[in-house]
Structure 1
Amino acid sequence: MAIPRVDSPQQSAPCRIVVAGGSYGGITSVLTLLDLIDGKPLRVGLETQFSRDLRVQRKFEIVLLDKREGFFHTVGAPLAHVSRRHVKPFWRKFASFDDLHRPEVHIVQGSLKNVDLESKSLTFKGCGSGSGESSLTYDYLILATGLQRPWPIVPTADNHDQYVRDAEAHIAGIENAREKSVVVIGGGAVGVEMAGEIKNHHPNHSVTLVHSRSQVLSNEPLPDDFKDRALEVLREEGVEVLLNERPSVDLDAKELVFADGREVNPGFVLMAASKWIPGTMYLPDSALDEEGYVKVSATLTLASEDSKNPTHFAIGDIARVSGIKRAGAALRMGCVAAINIYAAMLAQEGLTEESAYNDWPEVPPMIALAVGKQALTFGPGQGTKWGVDVMEQTFGDDLGWTFSLRYLDLLDYYEPLKAHEPVGADVMPGQ
């Protein structure tokens, strides 16, 4: 999509680009912007629709705003929250990445509270020692704030040390479960993953997955043969699966009461059945659909925005786009948003007759799911694949963390696991 040429303004202040959210999409946006500024090949590997020899003349200021002090490997959460030796490696502080140690990059820890689209300003509440409310103006804004999900699906702590305490306490609960009995409620991707990881890393525990529908993964737009195979793999891994059951749950008493009156008292209950909520409460209702996702154009700008003067972009899990929410898609969306901001600036400075946006394509349903020692994948043209070899190819031995860091050219900052314990697998709408 072309951006019309605009007369170059007389601007001396740096162009401030705020990226709200520092997970897969957000950190990719920042790194891609830096590659564009430096004239380097894009680490994500996408092509631009403008000549790479062109350089924006205006200086940049990039603000990465996130409630956490680091990049957490969300895809690996079920593994990190089941296996003690995986807790610390999956959270990398932003300060540990030398690529971000630049004068034009500012890391701000805080939660976005309000965005004024007209005045191009936002307010956020600081975390930790800076817990007051502050405001920022910007020239461009990339929203990558993800979904609101409860613990232990994702960390709720905003700092690494508290997260480690939370995760280790959670794992202790599994380890010390009465009669080594664990029940996972909810047979979506996260529940399937959690059940598989618990059984894989605590093989002497009895693990039961309870789901209210007749198939696991019932809410995902996937073929029946994939869902049926996922159920078979769960059972092969030693997980008992109860379908068409919706027990009432008392987490404090660790009590489940089924519709037929049966009462079950497992030693540990894990809830994985919550509906995820887009973290978009800071936007006006006009920018959102009925479920709270951001309505975006093909170029990932807000759908209501003038395409001739783009300012606001939404990427990752909060964007209303086709396909299943996946980390891999968020990575590429972050790159597309950064390219499009740079293209808009080229056009604004009159450096080309026109600069072109990259469009985000229609994406068919695809998934990578880790279940215990095996993984399952589905995508257009490949059908359903599963097995231990699929796990190795898709997730490696750390649920895709090494793959993600290598993709972002950040692998130099990763401290590999040194323990000799076999590494299990993990789930989530994957790579």
Structure 2
Amino acid sequence: MTHGISLSVPTVLKPTTDNATSFTTNILVVGGAYAGLSAVRSLAYHFNRRIKDPFIKSKLINSRVSITMVEPKSGLLNILGIPRAIVDVDFAKTQYISFEEFYDLKFDKVISNQPDVLQNIVTDQNTGNNEGGFEINFVHGRVTHLDENRAEYQLVESDETATINFDYVILASGRDRSWPTTPNAYTTKSYLEEMARSKHEIESNDIISIIGAGAVGIEIAGDIKHHCPNKTVNLMHPHETFPPEPLSTEFQSLTYKSLVNSGVNVYLNTRVSKESENGDLETTTGEIIKSDLNYWCHAHQNNISILSDNLRKDFVTSRNNILVNEYLQVLNKDKKLDAFFCIGDIVELPIIKSAGWAMYMGRLVANNLVSMILDNILIEPFPDLTQMPRGMVIVAGNGEIVSELSGEVELNHKGYVEEYKDYCIGKIRSTIGV
């Protein structure tokens, strides 16, 4: 059974549901961080814009489009601020924006087993979404299995499983690292408890070692030393230079010098093979490096294990990224899934993965998806990456900002210093529109 715009008839949910329940939606968004939230907010924007056309309004008037976002956090966690948040709980409070605090994205229906979430996110006030011909549902949980037109999910802290059937899906599941750089953060309260626990761990140990000098490892080392100057902070990296992104040697050198000048002990060409029970680290050459508390920042995990066996076989690369075309539809050389989009860190594209790119992809896919539904065409391809400048901004030692854009390397660029006063959370909220 379909709408007048060739969509399934969605399930009519209650305003609040406190257990996992099976239902049908039109657009499923898996993940609600930078990419997923950007997609949801942009879907709302485009439906609101297009319904002003009388012809489009006649299509949508009796067939509200159901948009459902599944996300285990009940707010926007600014991952950019986590390296500082783990040592500064007051700052951490500014880096988690609960969904009820959003000024321009409201949920019509919520499924959650957390009473506070149900009470706070759903209000008696009209969200105004129906005037745009759509509704937005929030499922406070995580997808555990995903195929071309069906997802299984569980609510947070529960193993009860239910099913979501959908017409279109936007996979924005992102990537995870080890705790505390990827906290559970189900609610504001639980997130702040995690940050307080992390700070207590740091305060309770004298020697803290970070294994892996990617952007996350660099910033954790720098922030711990900056906010806890009496601690011994080690940063270990298996190669001669860092970070590993394709940037200039000048950028790498400036980042290294900033850390060393702040008092971080940097170990290059050092590969850790074993962590002892007391925290000491053994290298592949047999050297023992004294340590009390260790943060392993040497790897990340793309959240794609939820994909069905067939999807993984057909569309996942050896680097655990997902193949996409210029419209971010899942694609390989033989097959394309028109209704399956993928955005954010998990796509196979030659870019430096960032919050900015994630938000851009969310906006692009939303524009194309609304056009597909209403006009049956795709209208916005991904830009030509050969014409796009590469860049990166890192908070290194002593709170210094090291940046590179289009080959120009700077220390404490005024614009970036201003943005990083709140670790870009203000800019991010403005960009997404929440």
- Measured against the shorter chain, the TM-score band is 0.7 to 0.9
Calculate percent identity across the aligned residue pairs.
25
Confirm whether residue 184 of structure 1 aligns to residue 215 of structure 2: no
Match 1:357 to one of 370, 380, 393: 380
Counterpart amino acid of residue 399 in structure 1: Y
Where do 1:114-193 residues align within 5 Å? 114-117=145-148, 120-128=149-157, 131-178=159-206, 181-193=207-219
Match 2:367 to one of 339, 347, 354: 339
Q: Does the 8 Å contact 1:182/1:268 carry over to 2?
A: yes
Counterpart amino acid of residue 279 in structure 1: N
CA positional deviation for 1:10? 6.0
What is residue 351 of structure 2 aligned with on the other side? 323
Where do 1:264-279 residues align within 5 Å? 264-273=289-298, 275-279=299-303
* 2-structure distance, mates of 1:355, 1:75: 32
Q: Point out the structure with the larger helix share.
A: 2
Confirm whether residue 96 of structure 1 aligns to residue 101 of structure 2: yes
CA positional deviation for 1:161? 2.5
CA positional deviation for 1:159? 3.3
Confirm whether residue 392 of structure 1 aligns to residue 392 of structure 2: no
User: CA offsets, 1:180-225, max 9 Å, x none?
Assistant: x3222211111111111011111222222121111121x3212222
* 2-structure distance, mates of 1:54, 1:317: 37
What is residue 112 of structure 1 aligned with on the other side? 143
CA positional deviation for 1:11? 5.8
* 2-structure distance, mates of 1:324, 1:238: 28
SS of 1:295's partner is coil
User: CA offsets, 1:104-162, max 9 Å, x none?
Assistant: 11110122122221xx111112214x541111111211100001211122113433333
Report the RMSD for the aligned CA atoms in angstroms.
2.8
Unaligned 5+ segments in structure 2 are: 11-24, 109-134
What is residue 319 of structure 2 aligned with on the other side? 291
* 1-structure distance, mates of 2:384, 2:69: 26
Confirm whether residue 221 of structure 1 aligns to residue 252 of structure 2: no
Instruction: Kindly indicate whether structure 1 or structure 2 has the higher relative contact order, using CA contacts under 8 Å at least 6 residues apart.
Output: 1
Confirm whether residue 310 of structure 1 aligns to residue 334 of structure 2: no
Distance 1:335 1:10, change over 3 A: closer
TM-score (norm: length of structure 2): 0.80
CA positional deviation for 1:355? 5.6
Q: Does the 8 Å contact 1:182/1:266 carry over to 2?
A: yes
SS of 1:123's partner is strand
Higher deviation after alignment, 137-146 or 240-249? 240-249
Counterpart amino acid of residue 191 in structure 1: G
Counterpart amino acid of residue 150 in structure 2: S
Distance 1:356 1:269, change over 3 A: closer
* 1-structure distance, mates of 2:322, 2:344: 10
Counterpart amino acid of residue 379 in structure 2: A
Distance 1:251 1:324, change over 3 A: farther
Match 1:67 to one of 67, 72, 94: 72
User: CA offsets, 1:224-280, max 9 Å, x none?
Assistant: 22111111111222222111122344263111234554433333322211x212111
* 2-structure distance, mates of 1:295, 1:235: 39
User: CA offsets, 1:351-379, max 9 Å, x none?
Assistant: xxx66234344245321111132112222
TM-score (norm: length of structure 1): 0.81
Confirm whether residue 300 of structure 1 aligns to residue 328 of structure 2: yes
* 1-structure distance, mates of 2:378, 2:287: 65
* 2-structure distance, mates of 1:135, 1:170: 35
Q: Does the 8 Å contact 1:370/1:391 carry over to 2?
A: no
Q: Does the 8 Å contact 1:374/1:390 carry over to 2?
A: no
SS of 1:105's partner is strand
Q: Does the 8 Å contact 2:304/2:320 carry over to 1?
A: yes
Counterpart amino acid of residue 151 in structure 2: L
What is residue 256 of structure 1 aligned with on the other side? 281
SS of 1:320's partner is coil
Distance 1:258 1:13, change over 3 A: closer
CA positional deviation for 1:306? 9.9
Aligned residues: 381
